[in-house]
Structure 1
Amino acid sequence: MEYEAGDYRKLAVKQFPARSIRETAEGKYWKQFKAPVFAKQFGPVTNVDFCQEYPYNFAVTASTRVIVYDGLTRQVRRTFSRFKDVAYSGCFRQDGKLLVAGGQNGIVQVFDANSRSVLRQLKGHQRPVHVARFAPDKTHVLSGSDDVTLRWWDISAGKQLLRLTGHEDYVRAAAVSPSSSDTWASGGYDHTVKLWDVRSGKASMSCDHGAPVEDLAFFASGGLLVTAGGTNLCIWDLLSGGKLLRRLSNFQKTVTCVKLSPYAGPDSAAAPRMLAGSLDGHVKIFELDDFKVTHAAKYPAPVTGLGLSADCSLLAVGMADGMLSVRKHAKPKVVQGGAAAAQRRRRAPRLTAANFRFFLRGRNAKAGSGDVVVAARRRVHLAPYDRALRAFRYRDALDSALSTQRADVIHSLLDELAARGGLHSALAGRDAASLLPLLRHLSKHITDPRHSASLAGVAARVLDLYAPVVHTDERVDAALAQLRDALRQEVALQESLLRLAGCLEPLLAAALLSGTSVA
């Protein structure tokens, strides 16, 4: 008998309720950073700094070394080991030609980034120097030390120009304002953030963070400042005299580092964001309008340093156990300037009869109120599993559905086979190669609450059918073991939830009896 397309009703794919948490475009962007490349350092990573020039090499400070990695290959390019003790705060100059770092012995050293030779040794601090930064003019350096002072150096002459005093405890953070090269901010363990003018050598503003300040960063406008310390991030409005705009408490342990992602251009998918890392092992991304967390990543150890390249294509995170994680974005969408986009527009072909798109004009146009619409009869397209199901080839239909790797299609087909009484014929008589996709699908989705009810029955039938041939194929045995482990984990999770519910029920009942709100 010949079946027409109209005689067969296509498989109705189930529409499951939307999940309560959907992946946002922001989360998808940050998840497109590829699997991290891990590099073990000689000690805890205390600082990560990216060069602003292509190819965006980055310096990693750990133990007694500052290691420079290539931004393209992510391999070690140079190692600076001219330190008698622990090194701190290895940072590039804006052009990437020089590198500055502090040390446990209180000496600030300036290196040639290419030859690794020591160009200057700036001596004056009496205790370890934990922060050193180049000024935008490329000829000065600001350093902060545990001797509670900051010092302003002229590297061309190799001498100290200013000694900035005002902090009462260790100085651990410093940054220059993007709007004025003479304005610097510093933070210390005395809980204060100070704003300095290096022309006068005096502090023009002081803010109380409320906890030891670990790091700070200016916003691109220079009017806002973010400070990290304790479990909080504080946003300060400097133009309003140091007014506290927002206190963010999104971490469980000390926030150790904070960075503002650079503006990668109008053609980039990376909007400006704030990144912060903490000793609880989390790196969280904040949007800059309401400072809400848009994405979070968990790392296997406390985060002690992080950096993001100027084109937002490399994310490097250092940890307290000495591990460095470097992730590269899968599809960086950065265009240098607008010239490339304009060139692409100029090269766009003119729409004439010589172009196929000329004959597709108006396909998306909608009919007017006075137009007569003629319904076009289109041939019904059947998916491979529908064609097999129409011909009562139930096993082929299941194989075709499994090949789509779409859970909604597979589960709709299994329900249809069960309703037709063809589930047994679809499952029986399979060899190892055809059974493995079904077992993998069961292992992956049997613990999903949306599908567990139907898949549990399918799994029971599979075990009944193939129990006699267990231990005859290693691949099938491994897939069955994976299914068993998934079920064990789910049972353990349900037991934990039941115990937690049992603990909460008396508390909720007592609260209801006493009239106390439990919201």
Structure 2
Amino acid sequence: MAEPHPSKMFPVKPKLKSKPRTPKQTPESKYWSSFKTQQIPNLISVPSLTFSPSSPHSFAAAHSASLSIFSSETLSVSSTISSFSDVVSCASFRSDGRLIAASDLSGLVQVFDLKTRTPLRRLRSHTRPVRFVQYPLFDRLHLISGGDDALVKYWDVAGETPLLELRGHKDYVRCGDSSPVNMDMFVTGSYDHTVKLWDVRVTDSRSVAEVNHGKPVEDVIFLPSGGLIATAGGNSVKLWDLLGGGKLLFSMESHNKTVTSICMGRIGGDTGEESNQFRILSVGLDGYMKVFDYSTMRVTHSTRYPAPLLSVGYSPDCSTQVIGTSNGIIYAGKRKTKEKEKEKEESESSMFWRIAPVEKPKRQVLRPSNFRYFQRGQGEKPSMGDYLIMRPKKVKLAEHDKLLKKFRHREALVSVLGSKKPENVLAVMEELVARKKLLKCIANIDMGELKLLLMFLHKYSTVPRYSSLLMKLTQKVLEIRADDIRASDSLKSHIRNLKRSVEEEIRVQQSLQEIQGIITPLLKIAGRR
């Protein structure tokens, strides 16, 4: 085999170094990642987040015995309501955004004027903590509430009296949602594992439909069509077809712990316009926020937060998402649209409209007929018609590469063995194998260098990504240098250590094969189901 010419020598490159696998980012994942998150700290556990349906879509956060209203534009507190005697559990804006209803663990439901922050109505009827309260869509006169007394109440807000007291749940009522297409219908979820559909026009106060989630229900929402609902409980989010008699359509079980809250989200365009691509956003105690596309029945995005998550909200204009945690931090994400960026640039440029732009003097174009064309110097930038000739960059060689360039193979191997980078040692060995010089180098190294080689083989020969070459090399070393190893006690000790590590690796591999033999049939059975 012909030796490579020294002038054409290039550095040896490690080939066995594994590269980290980066997941491919989809367009939808890029969309949800475009929300620039900032923290709103110094709160206490945030069990409820809700957005105002009217522009500019402020959002309310329940924390301790307070209810804070935040601006969705600046993500700062605009007002705080503290007229509560116990922990606030839930809040709901009226359809016009002027009033907000809030419940607390004392069993009281209050209605506040957002401008004056004064309580306009106090609704007292629940005997246990109230866990949820909501205004029906486009209904400004009634409220729905449910609590730990297992009762659901339908209120006349003006008269401060419950028009209906709906009985049917056998455990705490923890959540509910009103229909987006009919303001007389709503659903409630309970710790008795059931979700019930109610119609206030039914005179006997019985639920008109019921589904069993199988776990205590933490949250329930209507999907935009009004015929489907999503329930959250345990580690799953389930879709149900109410029009089809409460048929289970799909169960998403991508969370590792309890799913605490879900909400509907809509993908918005760069111009701020809304699309018809709806998603279910879910958060859980495992710290994950999942985005679920129920048209394809798959999770399209996932984000990890450093604390258990209790609540999630998404603005109607698709510009803001907020997530409440158990440690009192709100992670608020704001998405900038191209339209807003353009408006910002126009507003900034309008501030300087009186200042005339400074015209740059035009440079004379140099042509080959001008003598200065040939005296431009190295600092001149090339034009479109010029041919640019680049000098080849000087390749910086390591010590072992310099020795390989001079064909000093044994010295190159010894030099790289002294380094602390096993990938470089493997690269040099592969180069020597390609030159058919590795075995000759092993035969010519002295006792001290042989000891260095045996130490390297003992340390890395059982490493999976190096073992294919090093195990064969170990066998050749024992064959070629057997006499030297027998004559030296220190070399014998290195061989014993090498033998022990190889035997241990063989035992580990046998145990892994036994485990694989046990698991493989179980996986096949699970796949059939």
Specify the alignment match of 1:144 in structure 2.
146
Shift of the alpha carbon at 1:292? 0.9
Specify the alignment match of 1:374 in structure 2.
none
Specify the alignment match of 2:222 in structure 1.
218
Contact 2:37 2:331 in 1 (8 A): no
Whether 1:253 and 2:254 are equivalent positions in the alignment is no
Contact 1:40 1:324 in 2 (8 A): no
Structure 1 residue ranges without an equivalent (≥5)? 1-15, 336-377, 395-415, 424-451, 458-493
Shift of the alpha carbon at 1:504? 7.4
> Bigger radius of gyration, 1 or 2?
2
Specify the alignment match of 2:161 in structure 1.
159
Specify the alignment match of 1:244 in structure 2.
248
Cα distance in 2, alignment partners of residues 296 and 47 from structure 1: 21
Cα distance in 1, alignment partners of residues 519 and 45 from structure 2: 52
Q: Per the alignment, in what secondary structure is the counterpart of residue 301 of structure 2?
A: strand
RMSD: 3.6
Cα distance in 1, alignment partners of residues 111 and 231 from structure 2: 27
Specify the alignment match of 2:297 in structure 1.
291
Cα distance in 2, alignment partners of residues 108 and 256 from structure 1: 22
Map 1:148-187 onto structure 2 (within 5 A). Answer: 148-187=150-189
Shift of the alpha carbon at 1:511? 4.2
Shift of the alpha carbon at 1:325? 1.0
Cα distance in 1, alignment partners of residues 228 and 315 from structure 2: 21
Relative distance call for 1:260 and 1:517 in structure 2 (3 A) is: same
Specify the alignment match of 2:132 in structure 1.
131
Shift of the alpha carbon at 1:208? 0.5
Contact 1:132 1:142 in 2 (8 A): yes
Specify the alignment match of 1:391 in structure 2.
391
Whether 1:52 and 2:56 are equivalent positions in the alignment is no
Relative distance call for 1:392 and 1:515 in structure 2 (3 A) is: closer
Q: How many residues align?
A: 369
Whether 1:302 and 2:308 are equivalent positions in the alignment is yes
Map 1:461-476 onto structure 2 (within 5 A). Answer: none
Specify the alignment match of 1:87 in structure 2.
88
Whether 1:99 and 2:103 are equivalent positions in the alignment is no
Contact 1:56 1:309 in 2 (8 A): yes
Cα distance in 2, alignment partners of residues 236 and 381 from structure 1: 68
Shift of the alpha carbon at 1:202? 2.2
Shift of the alpha carbon at 1:168? 0.3
Q: Per the alignment, in what secondary structure is the counterpart of residue 183 of structure 2?
A: strand
Relative distance call for 1:222 and 1:66 in structure 2 (3 A) is: same
Cα distance in 1, alignment partners of residues 507 and 199 from structure 2: 58
Identity of aligned pairs, percent?
35
Relative distance call for 1:417 and 1:381 in structure 2 (3 A) is: farther
Deviates more, 1:85-94 or 1:165-174: 85-94
Cα distance in 2, alignment partners of residues 69 and 509 from structure 1: 58
Contact 2:63 2:88 in 1 (8 A): yes
Contact 1:311 1:334 in 2 (8 A): no
Deviates more, 1:263-272 or 1:292-301: 263-272
Contact 1:88 1:102 in 2 (8 A): yes
Whether 1:312 and 2:301 are equivalent positions in the alignment is no
Shift of the alpha carbon at 1:199? 1.4
Map 1:271-420 onto structure 2 (within 5 A). Answer: 271-331=277-337, 390-392=390-392, 394=394
Cα distance in 1, alignment partners of residues 270 and 392 from structure 2: 55
Contact 1:230 1:255 in 2 (8 A): yes
Shift of the alpha carbon at 1:518? 7.1
With normalisation by structure 2, the TM-score equals 0.63
Specify the alignment match of 1:63 in structure 2.
64
